Amino acid sequence: MRFEELPTSQKASIDLHGLTVDEAEMQLIDFLEGLPKGVRMAEVTHGYSRGTALKSMVKNTFHHYKITDKRVGLNPGVTYFLLK
């Protein structure tokens, strides 16, 4: 299912632009821990044109027990997390 097709109660988003990798990782942890139980997908905007550190962290090295899968959309600056 696409992010846009989900009801508002089942999706959430966070923008990590301008953060360091360490700051972004902490923000993601806090964000995921604070989500209500019914949220099934999270849109994570990390950007892509000013370096790849955030993009790489979000797509490759960041792991959290709530994430079941990561998906890439048409925008290379966004990653979608499918959640438990």
Residue 17, C-beta contacts closer than 8 angstroms, at least 6 positions apart:
45, 46, 47
> What is the CATH number for 29?
3.30.1370.110
Q: What pLDDT was estimated at residue 3?
A: 74
Model pTM score: 0.89
Could you give the CA distance from residue 58 to residue 36 in angstroms, rounded to a whole number?
21
Q: What pLDDT was estimated at residue 7?
A: 81
Question: What secondary structure does DSSP assign to 55-84, as a single string?
Answer: HHIIIII---TTEEEEEE-SSTTEEEEEE-
Q: Kindly tell me if the per-residue pLDDT of 1 is higher than 80.
A: no
Arithmetic mean of pLDDT, 26-55:
92
Could you give the CA distance from residue 11 to residue 69 in angstroms, rounded to a whole number?
15
Full strand arrangement of the beta sheet holding 78-83 = 11-15, 41-45, 78-83, 67-72
pLDDT digits (tens, 9 = 90+) for 48-72: 877 789 999 999 999 999 999 999 8
Domains contained in the chain, number: 1
Domain containing 54: what range? 3-83
- pLDDT top residue among 1 and 6: 6
